[in-house]
Structure 1
């Protein structure tokens, strides 16, 4: 009995929108529907990218990596959010909170680097088309993807450790849906300026360095595209980059607004809205961005659905 009581004292209480109970039911429905769409959309992208020989290219290899990221991203937070919204207890264990913090940070860090790798892939395809198969060969793509995941998880280890070691003096009520850096630092009972400075430097490096590389890469791509005289080739190059640019815009808008700021100036209501946006909305939108703007993916999905339909009909 003493162990259970002691364990419960270590749990974090996640308030969410408990101060607005009328929001909980519609929010639960929206999150559930969005989560189902995110699971279906990202799983479809992964399966189609691996099963259709027409999509056997570096571009779709990295797109499937992004979809895997989004699957893990939503699964690391949304199920717990759904349980807390509808359940009588709005808690998460200490171990669960630390694991959620680490995984969520790791996946976000990995996505930063992956988006830069995807921009380089587009640069190689458009600016170096004759050398593209050599530059982006299979072994190199696998190494780049592996390095991206390792770097993201290593960065998260540093960030989450700096966040967790700060003393909370028994405070465990978190005005949020899940465990993330700004919300946890709000519970710290000592001066957090050193932690904030270290986290901001790390966050700025991880966010801004890949962003600068992406912007620089697209400057070279824009110069190459402007030299294209064929209207068809011009629009093909534009469409190739448009989906990636839209994903980059969605990701960096929310990430920079959340993490490149002092956590002491963190607004709970704004933080919760932004968390819902980048935690569930963007991973749900990514598959639609890549399918709606991409003829190859749409054709592959139609082919897969038609094949499944005829198999069931037989």
Structure 2
């Protein structure tokens, strides 16, 4: 019996299959061991303040998904205070473990001495649970709740240090001499949002009108836009978490379109949106690909005379990426 030539169809298929399996294994290793821990601070400038306002440096953090033993993440979070923000916005999903509250508070450290606001997400209320990975693509909106998490303890820790809970609340306050009018809703991903509790035109006297939500569901963004909010900030999407080169996010895990999965964009005529790609992942899907974990340093500046609706969507900001 003669040997099968190495260039036979069977040999080629076997070689191709082995190469594909090797590439997949390498990709998973990179996504889980390298990129998932390649934290970065992204910078962007957004012209949303009323004309004549001085700039405001806002640190946007979201989706920390903390577990007690995540030392590298905790060390990186402690370094964020070096960016010296004027204001901090936290759009939820801080926890992934019932004993993670001390780790979150200690890691945020000096940032808790900076004026800040927050709303919670689903993984502040409930721990993640294992689920079929295929649901990430086929049923991204499916909700599986784990054990209750100590969100009350986290809320107490934040508010005791001066951060404002914006859940179903409207507040007006000053930061760096600027008048900010803010409103927030509970997590729309869990259908806990009750926008009617904060409905009404945003204050025309404010230098910045700010809307907060964990999940950027269009039904909530539409309400903020209708009430005249200049900027809405959200998280939840993880920027897609698993993205493709030259394509971007595959899914957003909500009804937001893929093109807005992370970063600044326009919503409606006068409202601008910023979605954080987030800092962590679920412990049951510890992967990131073409979507590094991030915090964002936003420099808010005065809109051009004539309103924040001037300019194209592409011209809203000029993001750059830097790591510290």
**Structure with the largest fraction of strand:** 2
Q: Which has the higher helix share?
A: 1
| Structure 2 length-normalised TM | 0.26
Give the alignment's TM-score, normalised by structure 1: 0.27
